[in-house]
Each structure stands twice: as structure tokens, then as C-alpha cells.
Structure 1
Amino acid sequence: MSSSSAVQEAPVEQSSRPVGEIVDRLRDAASGDKVSLRDLVESFGESSFLPALMVPALLVVSPLSGIPLFSTFCGLLIAFIAGQMLISRRYLWLPDFLMSRSFDGAKARKAMDKLRKLSDWLDKHAKRRLRVMTSGPMRKVLQLICVLCGLAMPFLELVPFSSSILGVTVLCFATAMLVRDGLFATVGCVTLAAAVLVPLMVAGVI
């Protein structure tokens, strides 16, 4: 069975702590002994694409990224979600082979608890500014970069920190689009450059 949810961005964007609410929902969804990516993504119900995009970005930044192949699954989720945003699809669809991936609920809850400081920081500092970086054609550019970041994660599974840095990039871009904060889009570009440099340094190219 595939997953689909309607696109309704306004309820999430009106929140005073949009990122914190996403972490709270993820924490609540991970209440059992086992939790699947389906549980986490579908915890938003008829939400928007942006919270769904932030789910795998937050997860790959969390300690869960140390689980073998976890970054690969999160990267593919990011690519699927951002790709559908890019083509302006009305409903979100995700394949079962990604959604059925499950892991320990206790570890997930612990990871969410560790993300609270990050989410609080994002909510505190994100605000509407430099909106030219998050509107019109630039919004599509950010979505395209998120697709490329997601597709790159499976290939960087063995390169330390690289997938997490790409996760930070996607998280910055998603926050920028959610709050319409162009400064976070700029920060995302900086972390993207860092993500490119890390594998090159590991490979001894630079």
C-alpha cells in the first residue's frame, strides 16, 4: 500500500514553532516498541509536503543515522518527497519499500529528545526575511537541490558525516521554505558546500 496525503501548507506555517511541532509529532509517533518510517511520515495526516520533507532530514541528522542503510532510506525519502514538490504534485505518494522500514522505538524517542534543542533553535531564529531566496524560481531551485541531496545520500553511506551534513542542508532549505526565511536558504548553500568537500577530503582529492 502506498502513502498519500493532501497538501495543506497553511496550518503548519501559522505555527509559532513549526519545527518543534514536527519533532513533537515524531516523538509521539514513536511510542511503540517498533516504529516504521510509515508511522513517522503519516503522523502528519493531511499536512503539507514540507513537514514530510523535514521528517527524513531530521532523522538523518539524529543519532539514528548510525544505523546501517538508514541514511540511504532517508535520502530516498527526501528525493521522492522533494521530487513531487518540484513537479507540483498535489498528493504525496511514497513507495512501500521505504515506508515499511522499521527500527527500535526507544532509540527513536531518544533521538527525538536530542533533536529538541535543534528544533527550538530553528524556531527561535527562523523568521521571514530575504524572501526572494524562497519564492518564485528560487523555490524550485531549493527543491531541486533537495532532490539531488537525497539521491546523493546512498552513495555517501560510508563517508563519515557526509549524509548528516546533507541532512542539515535539506533541513535548512525546508525551514527556509516553511518560514520563508532566505537566510536559512543561504546557510543551506554553505552546508551543501561542506558536504561536497567532506568526501573529497576523505578521498584525498584535496
Structure 2
Amino acid sequence: MTLKKDVVSLDDILDASGRKSFGFFLLLAGIITLAPLVGDIPGVPTLMGAFVIIISFQLLIRRENMWLPAFMRNRTLKQEKILRALKRLKPVMKGIDRILKPRLTFLTKGFMQYVIALICVATAAVMPVMEFIPFSANIAGVILTVFGLALLASDGFLVLFAFALLGTAGWLIFIN
């Protein structure tokens, strides 16, 4: 892979990825919430919840590219660092690509993106409350991670899996 610049900004990456960036940031928020010792720090689930609401709102209003404040969009990395990271991630990404693939794509496009965005807003809205119940924010992290992966890979099977997780979590919460 060859990049045309010595330095690449987050703005360049967001422009290149277009609507796929929404899935990436949902995935990132989910992984941070799930991360051992990070997601359990007081305030992190609330912060990730606020971030997810910002992402999901932009998906709801049909933005083509993710909006982030200029101070974030203008952050840069040297091309060599990006290429080094991509080289390290390549084996992991090949493994993920074998599992995830575009299927049942109607579940990741159009109206269903609104449904996913609304579910992500609802999930994010309860994340501050989850901080008071140990490890419960991990449930939200899993759901956000799966929805993020589904949008990135246009994998409707993952959307169905996320719905099943959501239903199971709701059932467990309301049964007890």
C-alpha cells in the first residue's frame, strides 16, 4: 500500500472510509467498553455512551462522512507508522475477513441503519446506569462491537446476532 502523503490526518482517513467510518467508531466504542481494566474505569462507559450517541445521531441524519471536531480531524500520523500498523494487523484482518462477509446486506442498509442507530442510542443511554452494576457495561460493549462489525462488513447475519444478544440481555434483566 502506498500513500500519497508523508503525513495522514484523521480527516483523510474519514474521507476515504465514508459511511464505513460509523461502523468503525461503533466498533471502537464497543471494544473500549469491553477492554479489561479500561471499560470498568468509572466514567468510561458514560464517555463511550456519549460518543455512541454522537455517532448514531449522525447516522440518523444521514451524514455521508463522520463529523468530528477540527482538533480531532486535524490530528496526523506519519505514513510509516500507519503502514507499520497495517502490516501488523494484516494477519488478524485476514482471519476476520474469512468469518465476516457481506450477507443479508439489506439488514445493514437503508431503513435498517436507522433501526441500528436507534438501538445504539438506547444502549448508550443506559450505559451511565450500568456503571453502578459491576461488569454490566460489558453487555453494552458486546452489542456495540457486534453492530459496529456488522456495519463495517455489511454482514446482516451479525445484525441478527446483535438482535439476539439484545433480546437475551433484555430478557435476563427483566426476568431478575
Q: Which amino acid aligns with 1:59?
A: I
Aligned amino acid, residue 69 of structure 1: G
Displacement after TM superposition at 1:10 (Å): 4.3
What residue is the counterpart of 1:163 in the other structure?
A: 137
Structural mapping, 1:108-123, within 5 Å: 122-123=96-97
Q: Is the radius of gyration larger for structure 1 or structure 2?
A: 2
The question of whether the paired residues in 2 share the 8 Å contact of 1:5 and 1:92 is answered with no
1:1-206 matches, cutoff 5 A = 5=11, 7-8=14-15, 10=17, 48-63=21-36, 64-89=38-63, 90-93=65-68, 122-200=96-174, 206=176
The SS at the match of 1:66 is coil
Identity %: 29
- The secondary structure found in structure 1 opposite 2:39 is helix
Instruction: String of CA shifts for 1:47-75, please: whole Å, max 9, x gaps.
Output: x2322222111100111112112111111
Count residues with an aligned counterpart. 144
Output the aligned Cα RMSD.
2.9
1:156-197 Cα shifts (integer Å, max 9, x gaps): 112233211111111111111111111100110111123324
Relative to 1, partners in 2 of residues 1:122 and 1:197: Cα closer, same or farther, differing over 3 Å? farther
Equivalent residues of 1:49, 1:92 under 8 A apart: no
More relative contact order, 1 or 2 (CA 8 Å, 6+ apart): 2
Distance in 2, Cα, partners of 1:139 & 1:8: 20
CA drift of 1:91 comes to 4.2
Q: Is the 8 A contact 1:166 1:191 kept in 2?
A: no
Deviates more, 1:125-134 or 1:84-93: 84-93
* Equivalent-residue separation in structure 1 for 2:125 and 2:96 (angstroms): 25
1:83 shift after superposition: 1.2
> Separation in 2 of the partners of 1:177 and 1:57?
13
Tell me how far apart the structure 2 counterparts of residues 181 and 85 of structure 1 sit (CA, whole Å): 17
User: Normalising by structure 1, what TM-score?
Assistant: 0.60
Which whole-Å CA distance do the structure 2 matches of 1:127 and 1:135 have between them? 14
Unpaired runs of 5+ in structure 2? Answer: 1-9, 73-88
- For residues 134-164 of structure 1, give each alpha carbon's deviation from its aligned partner in whole angstroms, at most 9, with x where no partner exists: 1221122111111111111112112233211
